[in-house]
């Protein structure tokens, strides 16, 4: 009986210790206050039409002018430049059946967003436009080989004089940025991953942020439709700010306010600061 009790206690200790290690433990540094100082405009303050498409310079200017932080999506062009667009496939935003990674910057900027005047910007152009007025949240969009995109983003943000951070669903992308530029704040994006083409165990690990041991995030950005959840509660106890995404209206904002410290919003949930 006593032997069984000791074995059970050891198993519990190992499980608890393993979970604490896998999910990142306590952050090694205090997250910056600017992460949650204002609402974050998801892909900028955009319109449905061509006037201010998502992830355009016009949308980012509107967001910064209104006092919102800006969130954007980063891909790598064929010639190694960081460009700002959400989808790898360009048909939704440009009407062209092309891939970002197959085109150079010059070729990408020949395309027009939603048939208007706006083009696909580079990260450098966005940073120059924002110029430190509001924080910039860069989501690294990388489901492939980690390296070139992460290094390029890290290099630009390390040289940027304003407040900026990186986020990614890919924990290895964040780990790469941590190696290249450890001073840049990192955010682990996560959700329940319902409908995603992933094995069940990967969904379980990622939903519970059990790869934080490698990404070492300063904050968590979690799908508000999956809140509340125990994994996020644990991260809150450990002192990591929780950013909720993506908030479409006042009702969703009210829901997110129960569990989150910061808010990544589409235009319907944004009011001038």
Give the CA distances from residue 171 to residues 59, 197, 270, in Å, rounded to whole numbers and listed in that order: 28, 17, 29
CB 137 within 8 A of CB 165: yes
Non-local (6+) Cβ contacts of 27 within 8 A are: 217, 218, 238, 239, 240
Q: Which of 42, 43, 176, 216 is catalytic?
A: 42
Residue 218 has a CB neighbour count (10 Å cut-off) of 25
**Distance separating alpha carbons of residues 269 and 266, to the nearest angstrom:** 6
Residue 191 has a CB neighbour count (10 Å cut-off) of 20
Q: Is 42 a catalytic site residue? A: yes
Q: Which of 86, 176, 186, 216 is catalytic?
A: 86
* Residue whose tokens read 């983003």: 153
Active site residue ranges: 42, 86
């Amino acid at each position: 009986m006593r032997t069984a009790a000791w074995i059970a206690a050891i198993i519990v200790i190992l499980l608890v210790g393993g979970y604490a290690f896998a999910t990142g433990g306590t952050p090694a540094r205090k997250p910056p206050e600017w992460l949650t100082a204002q609402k974050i405009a998801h892909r900028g303050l955009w319109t449905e039409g061509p006037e201010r498409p998502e992830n355009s310079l016009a949308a980012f200017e509107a967001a910064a002018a209104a006092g919102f932080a800006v969130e954007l999506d980063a891909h790598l062009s064929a010639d190694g430049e960081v460009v700002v667009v959400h989808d790898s496939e360009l048909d939704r935003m440009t009407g062209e059946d092309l891939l970002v990674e197959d085109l150079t910057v010059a070729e990408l900027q020949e395309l027009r967003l939603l048939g208007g005047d706006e083009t696909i910007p580079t990260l450098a152009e966005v940073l120059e436009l924002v110029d430190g007025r509001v924080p910039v949240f860069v989501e690294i969009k990388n489901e492939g080989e980690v390296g070139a995109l992460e290094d390029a983003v890290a290099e630009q943000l390390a040289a940027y004089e304003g407040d900026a951070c990186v986020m990614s669903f890919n924990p290895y992308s964040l780990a790469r940025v941590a190696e290249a530029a450890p001073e840049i704040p990192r955010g682990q994006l996560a959700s329940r991953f319902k409908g995603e083409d992933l094995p069940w165990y990967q969904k379980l690990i990622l939903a519970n942020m059990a790869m934080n041991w490698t990404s070492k995030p300063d904050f968590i950005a979690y799908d508000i439709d999956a809140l509340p959840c125990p994994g996020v509660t644990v991260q809150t106890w450990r002192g990591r700010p929780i950013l909720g995404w993506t908030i479409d209206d006042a009702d969703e904002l009210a829901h997110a306010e129960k569990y989150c410290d910061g808010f990544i919003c589409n235009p319907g949930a944004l009011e001038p600061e």
